[in-house]
Amino acid sequence: MNIFSFINKWIEPVKHFVKREDSILRDEKGVLEPHSDLIATALAVIGFVVLAALLSKAYLGYEDRSFALENYESASLLAGTVAEASALKAENPGVLSASALDRLSCPEGSDEREKFFAAFSENYPFLVEIRTENGQWDWIINSEIVETGYLMGKQEKVAASVPVVIELNSAESVPGTLTVVLYNTPWM
């Protein structure tokens, strides 16, 4: 008995069981519509676009936070240095003078502000804000080297504060806060 005849005899009952019309090759029920693969491709592309958008948003968020983390120490050191600046000191040690703050924050004090900010790095655009704890007095000292309106825009910024004592007059001193607001620049 030949191996081919053995296989033919074994397949013979199967041939009668399966009809020719029911063949998988002739059955068109399983054929995909030509448009269904376009939908699947479109969904895959949309998925990749959404993934790319989420990744870019996460990176931009990280970049925004990294400015604050990297520059907080600089702002804190700058706040401590500004609080110890001789231009702000009163006659008593460790106390800021309200009259010196008035001179630096008024519009006519541009020469004094220029001297004050010259003592610090010009690479850091910053402003100094001094407030009393009760909120009755408030001084803002802006740098002249920065364009008008730059510090009020939507620039990234980081702030650091130190507690200070402000001498309002020779008989009255009040606690307050000196805040340095450091702004992000293109070269930072």
pLDDT of residue 143: 76
Window from 15-24, 58-67, 105-114 with minimum mean pLDDT: 15-24
Per the domain annotation, does 22 fall within a domain?
A: no
Our count of domains for the chain comes to 1
What pLDDT, on the 0 to 100 scale, is given for residue 47? Answer: 96
Distance, C-alpha 8 to centroid of its chain: 76
Contact 62, 68 (CB under 8 A): no
* Rounded mean pLDDT, 128-149: 80
Structure tokens at 9: 């005899």
Cα distances from 68 to residues 170, 178, 182, in angstroms, run 39, 19, 10
Pairing of strands 172-183, 96-97: unpaired
In a domain, 87, yes or no: yes
Looking at the domain assignment, is residue 4 inside a domain? Answer: no
Cα 63 to Cα 32: distance, rounded to the nearest angstrom: 47
Structure tokens that stand for 75 in this block: 């702002």
Contact 128, 166 (CB under 8 A): no
Integer-rounded Cα Rg, in Å, for the chain is: 38
| Per-residue pLDDT band at 186 (split at 50, 70, 90) | low
- Residue 1 maps to a domain: no
Query: Above 70 in pLDDT, residue 46?
Result: yes
Alpha helices in the chain (DSSP H): 3-17, 36-83, 98-105, 110-118
Which pLDDT does position 40 carry in this prediction?
A: 84
pLDDT > 90 in the chain, percent: 16
pLDDT digit string (tens) for 78-112?
Answer: 889 888 888 888 888 788 888 888 888 888 877 88
Least confident of 2-6, 8-12, 27-31, 173-177: 27-31
Identify whether 24 is part of a domain: no
Note whether residue 78 is domain-resident. Answer: yes
| Residue-range definition of the domain harbouring residue 71 | 57-183
Residue 52, domain member (yes or no): no
Residue 39 within a domain: no
110-133 mean pLDDT: 81
Q: Cβ atoms within 10 A of the Cβ of 23, count?
A: 9
| Out of 66-80, 102-116, 129-143, 148-162, least confident range | 148-162
Q: Which of 35-39, 76-80, 110-114 has the lowest mean pLDDT?
A: 35-39
